[in-house]
Structure 1
Amino acid sequence: MIAYDDRGLVPAVAQDAATGHVLMVAWMNAEAFARTLQTGELHFYSRSRATLWRKGETSGNTLRVRELRVDCDGDTVLALVEPAGPACHTGARSCFFRPVDLAGGGAASEAAARAPGDRGPTGDGGPPGSVLDRLARVLADRRDRGSADTSYSKRLMDAGPGAIAAKIVEEAGELVDELAAGDEERLVSETADLWFHCLVGLAARSVDPERVLRELDRRFGTSGIAEKAARSR
């Protein structure tokens, strides 16, 4: 099933099951793979120490395995995990926080490596990722450093929760109209408008959108009827 190399090793990629963020890459041998299956927590093999190690055994930042996959050649393992904390030894959520300058000869930035933090998509230390991540970063920047003279989102946040809520209600109404009778392009456009204004509301409250993704992930496998009934108790 797994094509280990001539050293008996295979690279293993850890990916956040809820957000899709790639967290880290390390090596596994057959024993690390077996231990991962037995315990449900990600284990690796250290080439420098020539020993098995469990991710988070000293820091507590374990990676609980939700699913394991292998690639088409069987020579790489993908682990979909639930992280208990930052994956990187620097304290960053992901080890992949250093952007490469594609136009400048491929040099990796050192600035983020000096102070990565665990700030996620609303700070400078989070991993690159989806449109949602990038938009959350921009909105957080507008909130903290933007000008209401030039930024619509900053102006809306400065107007307060009531203004944001009114805009969300307006956009939701427009989406409802398109759901009833509109064409697909308008439906997509109005959905994007509503999502954007919801993100503005989250940014105004300094709530990381990743929490919403994790809440949606938590609800997988739960009946919507049962979930609503539980909330009403």
Structure 2
Amino acid sequence: MTPDFSKYTDGLMPTIIQDASTKQVLMLGFMNAAALEKTRQEGKVTFYSRSKQRLWTKGETSANFLLVKEILVDCDADTLLIKADPQGPTCHTGTISCFGTANDVFSLQVLENIIRDRKNNPTEKSYTASLFAKGINKIAQKVGEEAVEIVIEAKDDNRELFLGEAADLMFHYLVLLQVKGYGLEDVLEVLEARHKK
């Protein structure tokens, strides 16, 4: 269905942004036809900023882009839903969602977003940022070390130690995915393709 911008006197259509992985609503913005076209062409969510009176790509100053996965139009053709992969916090306050619910639920996607943010906005006190600074060889080595440690713990019956090593492996694996330019969604696509065979 084609969005009908003529339903609005200012040509600005409400646009809901949803995390493609977690399904969490991230923000609401407004698009005109030009913003939608730029979003489609560049694959990054672009709004029409009512305060700046111009097209505005989310993340153009922070690098916390919203990478488009899918664009949907509602049944009345007067509202857009964009499923996106956030490249860091969506809200200017530093939270994942402008609705403030992201911090209530922890998930692998939330952790992945935090890791991505540490990569894009490193700080000296961040262990994650220090891993990125050491480079891919050190990160890959760390994943290997954690894999060996979980195998060792698997042979015993200590729940706490085993799950601790599982968490360490998962964390460093997510860091490795990020340094390679991939995310959990890319891995899930491969698993989904295998599942369909």
Q: Classify the TM-score, shorter chain.
A: 0.5 to 0.7
> Which letter does structure 1 place at the counterpart of 2:105?
P
- Counterparts of 1:104-115 in structure 2 under 5 Å? none
Q: How far 1:226 moved relative to its partner?
A: 7.3
Q: How far 1:9 moved relative to its partner?
A: 0.8
Instruction: Say which SS state the counterpart of residue 105 (structure 2) adopts.
Output: helix
Deviations 1:6-50 (A, max 9, x none): 111101111111111111100000110000011010000011221
Highest CA radius of gyration, 1 or 2?
A: 1
How far apart in 1 are the matches of 2:23 and 2:93?
20
Residue equivalent to 1:47: 50
How far apart in 1 are the matches of 2:25 and 2:193?
33
Contact 1:66 1:80 in 2 (8 A): yes
Residue equivalent to 2:63: 60
Q: How far 1:224 moved relative to its partner?
A: 7.1
Residue equivalent to 1:86: 89
User: Can you give the 5+ residue segments of structure 1 that lack an aligned partner in the other structure?
Assistant: 99-117, 127-160, 167-200, 228-233
Instruction: Say which SS state the counterpart of residue 37 (structure 1) adopts.
Output: helix
1:3 counterpart = 2:19 = no
Instruction: Say which SS state the counterpart of residue 38 (structure 2) adopts.
Output: helix
Call closer, same or farther: CA 1:219–1:122 in 2, change over 3 Å: closer
How far apart in 1 are the matches of 2:14 and 2:28?
7
How far apart in 1 are the matches of 2:46 and 2:104?
24
How far apart in 1 are the matches of 2:53 and 2:86?
25
Q: How far 1:221 moved relative to its partner?
A: 3.5
> Which letter does structure 2 place at the counterpart of 1:76?
T
How far apart in 2 are the matches of 1:19 and 1:163?
28
> Which letter does structure 2 place at the counterpart of 1:163?
R
> Which letter does structure 2 place at the counterpart of 1:69?
L
User: Can you give the 5+ residue segments of structure 2 that lack an aligned partner in the other structure?
Assistant: 111-156, 175-182
Instruction: Say which SS state the counterpart of residue 26 (structure 1) adopts.
Output: strand
1:162 counterpart = 2:158 = yes
Residue equivalent to 1:121: 105
Instruction: Say which SS state the counterpart of residue 190 (structure 2) adopts.
Output: coil
> Which letter does structure 1 place at the counterpart of 2:92?
H
Call closer, same or farther: CA 1:225–1:31 in 2, change over 3 Å: closer
Instruction: Say which SS state the counterpart of residue 80 (structure 1) adopts.
Output: strand
TM-score (norm 1): 0.49
> Which letter does structure 1 place at the counterpart of 2:10?
R
- Give identity over the alignment, percent: 39
Residue equivalent to 2:31: 28
Call closer, same or farther: CA 1:221–1:56 in 2, change over 3 Å: same
RMSD value, Cα: 3.5
Relative contact order, higher structure (CA 8 A, sep 6+): 2
> Which letter does structure 1 place at the counterpart of 2:159?
A
Q: How far 1:3 moved relative to its partner?
A: 1.8
How far apart in 1 are the matches of 2:193 and 2:82?
31
Call closer, same or farther: CA 1:19–1:225 in 2, change over 3 Å: closer
Q: How far 1:220 moved relative to its partner?
A: 3.7
TM-score (norm 2): 0.57
Number of matched residues? 134
Contact 1:93 1:120 in 2 (8 A): no
Of 28, 37, 43 in structure 1, the residue corresponding to residue 40 of structure 2 is 37
